[in-house]
């Protein structure tokens, strides 16, 4: 992705609650910056800043490709959520989000969930992904998984001439919020699923929900003979070792920032592996979140979001086809498409979707 500078980076600290967070606004060219809040430990605060910069830039391109009137932003809260998550800390974070007056709208990501968004919504209305019982749209991960499935079907059409996944061996790495739903969908499609996660509890839940799904460790999954590898955990998974080791025809998953080094995509192509850029296929959640932000009721919003997320099939197909025809990488084709959309957007970035007037 080209290195367009970020519009704003906010370092948030609150001594009373121990909050340490970063909010990065990459672009509001298409509208308010929409992107989730990641809550996890980092080696240093600089690592957290870097992650928020990468993730927020990815959101700019993701939102443009999804065809929603939102720019790109992302927040990270530093620390282990199982230790540091308190109502006070979440509310302190929400007040920082509120201080941006709607230029940034937050939602769930790794380490955060709808219950957290409910707490944040007590101090700001610039939050989506709240629970259904709190008037929100519910967990966006369901639609994220649905969009990934559409992207995977498009990859299958390009690779094997048919979008059918029945009988294909799909390895899902990470069965958290998105991966779990993706496993559900793949099982319904008739795929043979192999699931991996470092958390024994997550694997036990998968086995309980789907006794036919085999489970393994993330490392073992990288050696497994697969048709599709679906990374659904953290970024950087396609590093120099993994790219050489993978035994799959397709890589298509939800994890953000999968490419671990500059030449990864090119190397995948040389190995004849179809790669679907993560920010093209994992947009279902943000499509869902956008409906909620616009004040659409949960039921109607879910229906509309599902229809819109179906478009991920066509977008992925068109990007992969163009990449094959021109010799460009899929990410280069996707970036160009996103930039065309941003360049042709109306110039006034201050427009605010109707939901900004709504009060919770």
Q: Which residues are catalytic?
A: 74
- Where does this chain touch ligand NAD (CB under 6 A) — which range of 137-145, 159-167, 239-247, 296-304? 137-145
∠ CA 277-301-210, rounded to 5°: 60
Number of Cα atoms under 13 Å in the Cβ half of residue 39: 19
- Residue closer to ligand NAD by CB (options 179, 353) is 179
Shortest distance, position 155 Cβ to ligand NAD, whole Å: 17
| Residue list 279-308, contact with ligand NAD (CB under 6 A) | 282, 285
- Do 284 and 143 contact (CB within 8 A), yes or no? yes
Binding of ligand NAD by 202 (CB under 6 A): yes
Q: Under the phi-then-psi rule, with left for phi > 0, alpha for psi from -120 to 50, and beta for the rest, what region is 102? A: left
CA 301 to chain centroid, in Å, comes to 19
Shortest distance, position 347 Cβ to ligand NAD, whole Å: 28
- Residue closer to ligand NAD by CB (options 28, 112) is 112
Distance between CA 102 and CA 115 in Å, rounded? 21
- Residue closer to ligand NAD by CB (options 111, 301) is 111
- Where does this chain touch ligand NAD (CB under 6 A) — which range of 136-144, 184-192, 297-305, 330-338? 136-144
Binding mask of the shown chain, residues 254 to 273, with x at each position contacting ligand NAD by CB under 6 A: xxx-----------------
Residues 6 or more apart whose Cβ sits within 8 Å of residue 279: 58, 59, 61, 62, 65, 256, 334
Binding of ligand NAD by 141 (CB under 6 A): yes
Among 50, 234, 298, 345, binds ligand NAD (CB under 6 A): 234
Centre a 10 Å sphere on the Cβ of residue 344 and count the other Cβ atoms it contains.
7
Among 69, 135, 163, 176, binds ligand NAD (CB under 6 A): 176
- Do 250 and 227 contact (CB within 8 A), yes or no? yes
Among 131, 144, 315, 331, binds ligand NAD (CB under 6 A): 144
Counting every residue, how long is the chain? 360
Distance between CA 35 and CA 37 in Å, rounded? 7
Footprint of ligand NAD (CB under 6 A)? 108-111, 140-141, 144, 173-179, 196-199, 202, 218, 232-234, 254-256, 282, 285
């Amino acid at each position: 992705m080209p290195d367009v500078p970020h519009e704003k980076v906010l370092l948030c600290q609150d001594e009373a609650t121990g909050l340490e967070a970063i909010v990065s606004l990459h672009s509001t060219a298409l509208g308010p910056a929409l992107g989730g809040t990641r809550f996890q430990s980092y080696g240093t605060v600089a690592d957290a800043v870097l992650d928020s910069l990468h993730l927020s830039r990815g959101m700019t391109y993701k939102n443009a490709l999804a065809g929603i009137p939102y720019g790109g932003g992302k927040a990270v809260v530093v620390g282990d959520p199982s230790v540091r998550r308190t109502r006070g800390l979440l509310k302190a974070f929400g007040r920082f989000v509120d201080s941006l007056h709607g230029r940034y709208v937050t939602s769930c990501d790794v380490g955060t969930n709808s219950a957290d968004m409910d707490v944040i919504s007590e101090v700001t209305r610039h939050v989506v992904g709240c629970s259904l019982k709190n008037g929100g749209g519910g967990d966006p991960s369901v639609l994220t998984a649905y969009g990934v499935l559409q992207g995977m079907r498009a990859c299958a059409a390009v690779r094997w001439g048919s979008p059918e996944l029945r009988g294909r061996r799909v390895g899902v790495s990470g069965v958290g919020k998105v991966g779990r739903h993706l496993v559900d969908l793949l099982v319904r499609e008739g795929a043979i699923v192999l699931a991996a996660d470092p958390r024994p509890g997550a694997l036990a839940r998968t086995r309980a929900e789907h006794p036919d799904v085999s489970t393994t460790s993330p490392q073992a999954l990288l050696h497994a003979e697969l048709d599709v590898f679906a990374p659904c955990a953290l970024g950087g998974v396609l590093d120099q070792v993994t790219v050489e080791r993978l035994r799959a025809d397709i890589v298509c998953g939800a994890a953000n920032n999968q490419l671990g080094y500059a030449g990864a995509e090119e190397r995948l192509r040389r190995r004849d592996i179809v790669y679907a850029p993560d920010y093209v296929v994992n947009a279902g959640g943000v499509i869902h979140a956008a409906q909620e932000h616009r004040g659409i009721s949960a039921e109607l919003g879910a229906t509309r979001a599902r229809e819109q997320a179906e478009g991920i099939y066509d977008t992925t197909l068109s990007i992969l086809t163009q990449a094959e025809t021109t010799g460009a990488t899929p990410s280069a084709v996707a970036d160009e498409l996103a930039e065309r959309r941003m360049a042709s957007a109306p110039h006034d970035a201050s427009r605010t979707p109707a939901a900004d007037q709504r009060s919770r």
